[in-house]
Structure 1
Amino acid sequence: MAANARNGYVFRPREAARPDHEKRIQALDLARRLPALTLSARQAAASAQAGLHGRRRAGAGENFWQFRPFIPGEAAQNVDWRRSARDDRLYVRQREWEAAQVLWVWADLSGSMNYCSPLSAQSKLDRALILALALADSAVRAGERAGWLGLTRLSAARDIVDSLAVALVAEARLNGELFEDLPQAAAPLRPREKAALIGDFLVEPAAFAACLQRLSIQGARGHVLMVYDPAEEAFPFSGQTEFYDEAGDLLRAGRAEDYVAPYRARLAAHREALSAAARAQGWTFAVHSTVRPASEALLNLRLALTADGTR
């Protein structure tokens, strides 16, 4: 949602331009944003890493965690005989649970993501980029491989944030496919791979559901984070107001306050439709306001993606 009103909530659509010229403008804008955003992404990743510290748990993995008493009825091959020989009890060597070894990230960079009201200090686009890059960095720190869905290969390199940023700018300059509001060219995810999709998802629920179904056809799972500006939820507009969409189409409202109730009802229904589509594929779904700390959303994403099952 975008509005141009005398109450200060202003987001003007771009003037009509040739597709190649518009693509160039978007690529240059992305290149301008990224240096500061990569720094914010690293800071968010470091903060989330501190929040994850101490959250170890048992599961399938390679790293030793602890010994626990043997439970009658479980397989005898689980017994650690060397440790058991030092005591009069049987013990099992328990390994630390490890998160998925593959994580794909994706962020919506389409026009509607540029919206930033006076209620927030950061646009949806900037927040989505920070979260996607920070999530990839956090995954690599945890020993996983990460990549940008439909754009890059998987990597476990420590410079993952820089390499993704370079790839984003290069792809934007070439063909502009980054500016679609849903992943377009991504192949189905392999079994046990996970993905995190971050955007405002102001799309038809049917298109959203079809996208998740295509990605999940082989049994892969993931998480959807719907980023929103607080004005998009509160709808603080009144009096004569002009609303624009990202294509520049205009809606004039004589009394914007008359739209509050139907708008909020439609927003709630839209979110529920997206959530239902995610649940149908075994994915999790959450919403995040740009006035909340990025580290908070990142920590919740990491916990959701490393859960044994999906909620």
Structure 2
Amino acid sequence: MAVAGPELVLTAPDSKDLGREASALSARMPDLLMQARLVSNTVAHGIHGRRRAGPGETFWQFRRFQSGEPARRVDWRRSARDDLLYVREKEWEASHTVWIWIDRSPSMYFSSSLAPCRKIDRAVVMALALTDLLIRGGERVGIVGLLRPTAQRHALERAAVAIARAPVSDDSLPDAAPFGRFSEFIAIGDFLEPLSDLEPALTGIAARRVHGHLAQVLDPVEESFPFAGRTEFHDAASGLEFVAGRAETVREAYLGRMAARRRRLKAVTDRIGWSQLIHHTDRPAQEPILALHARLSGGGDPRSFGAASASSGNRPRQDAEADA
């Protein structure tokens, strides 16, 4: 938390208040669920699911037999119903399971008056909207640590209940999650922990042949650093404090280190073949959902995903900057 004058209000809970914040998140869940449905409905208009034919065990659809195909592909039972020949297609297994992970660390409960919501609220809306959107397209979706993969339509409500009951957590990226060989992984968080911890976690998950996507959720002040005068910075996770007599004098150095941190994180995601986007909580939630859906569908260039926001940033905390 930072105190920088009446024109800018920042809120971040102390460690003793995190239980109360988790309860408040639970109370807001009906509203967040409604927001997620609205976002999903908006994004779903005009797009299609990712299901397509390919090697697998699950029946997808019948289609007309095409000249030149091997006769062994004909489904004679279905073809016996009329005068046409049909082929039974299976669904491509590589698109079966999408895992979503939500960062529930104390830093996600940070917000400023420049944004309409806290980062955790936006992350929950994104996760629920993606769950709804992907299940509509026939995908199996799981919430890491909270919900087993499912394609049932009522999974959205189950996911909301599971998230509402989950406590604040300092857990890092879930390298022990039951990812399958063809799984896709969407991680939603601020990713402001030390890069010395983040890099091996990302590399370890990618080594399991998981294709991943990072959605970094930031408050606008975490990259713009709009502070001046005597400013006190407080880290909700560790309790560390830093007092700047004239905050404007450290702005350039702060922004430079944040830019270097973003480049280093981008280098990691490029190396392991993952996509990355940056979303600010003063922007509509539809923007990152559209970008993520395009990437999951195989469209778009992952190198361009940073264009969803102007640039990355970091919140005012000393331990997160140490490894930049």
Aligning the two structures, in what range does the TM-score lie when normalised by the shorter sequence? 0.7 to 0.9
Superimposed CA distance per residue, residues 67-113 of structure 1 (whole angstroms, 9 cap, x where no aligned partner): 99x9xxxx8659x99xxxxxxxxxxxx99989812111111122111
- Structure 1 counterpart of 2:2, which letter? A
- Structure 2 counterpart of 1:128, which letter? A
- Structure 2 distance, partners of 1:28, 1:216, is 34
Task: Report the CA distance shift for 1:98/1:190 in structure 2 as closer, same or farther (over 3 A).
Answer: closer
Task: Report the CA distance shift for 1:309/1:288 in structure 2 as closer, same or farther (over 3 A).
Answer: closer
- Structure 1 distance, partners of 2:166, 2:43, is 29
SS in 1 for 2:10: coil
| Residue 186 of structure 2 corresponds to residue 196 of structure 1 | yes
- Structure 2 counterpart of 1:38, which letter? L
In the alignment, is the contact (CA less than 8 A) between 2:11 and 2:111 conserved in 1?
A: no
In the alignment, is the contact (CA less than 8 A) between 2:175 and 2:204 conserved in 1?
A: no
- Structure 2 distance, partners of 1:259, 1:23, is 30
Superimposed CA distance per residue, residues 18-65 of structure 1 (whole angstroms, 9 cap, x where no aligned partner): xxxx56424312211211101111111111111525x98986484589
- Structure 2 distance, partners of 1:32, 1:166, is 11
In the alignment, is the contact (CA less than 8 A) between 1:12 and 1:244 conserved in 2?
A: no
What's the RMSD between the two structures over aligned residues?
3.3
Structure 1, 2-11 or 295-304: larger mean CA deviation: 2-11
| Residue 165 of structure 2 corresponds to residue 165 of structure 1 | no
Q: Under a length normalisation based on structure 1, what TM-score does the superposition of the two structures give?
A: 0.79
| Residue 234 of structure 2 corresponds to residue 249 of structure 1 | no
- Structure 2 counterpart of 1:222, which letter? G
Q: What's the counterpart of residue 202 of structure 2?
A: 212
Q: Which runs of 5+ in 2 are unaligned?
A: 75-88, 303-324
SS in 2 for 1:236: coil
Task: Report the CA distance shift for 1:65/1:180 in structure 2 as closer, same or farther (over 3 A).
Answer: farther
Q: What's the counterpart of residue 88 of structure 1?
A: none
| Residue 275 of structure 2 corresponds to residue 276 of structure 1 | no
| Residue 97 of structure 2 corresponds to residue 107 of structure 1 | no
Q: Which runs of 5+ in 1 are unaligned?
A: 82-93
Structure 1, 268-277 or 297-306: larger mean CA deviation: 268-277
In the alignment, is the contact (CA less than 8 A) between 1:151 and 1:167 conserved in 2?
A: yes
Q: What's the counterpart of residue 249 of structure 2?
A: 258
In the alignment, is the contact (CA less than 8 A) between 1:244 and 1:251 conserved in 2?
A: yes
Among all aligned residue pairs of Structure 1 and Structure 2, give the percentage whose two residues are the same amino acid. 35
Superimposed CA distance per residue, residues 4-23 of structure 1 (whole angstroms, 9 cap, x where no aligned partner): 22244333544453xxxx56
Q: What's the counterpart of residue 36 of structure 1?
A: 31
- Structure 1 distance, partners of 2:64, 2:282, is 40
Q: What's the counterpart of residue 258 of structure 2?
A: 267
Task: Report the CA distance shift for 1:183/1:29 in structure 2 as closer, same or farther (over 3 A).
Answer: farther
SS in 2 for 1:304: helix
- Structure 2 distance, partners of 1:57, 1:166, is 27
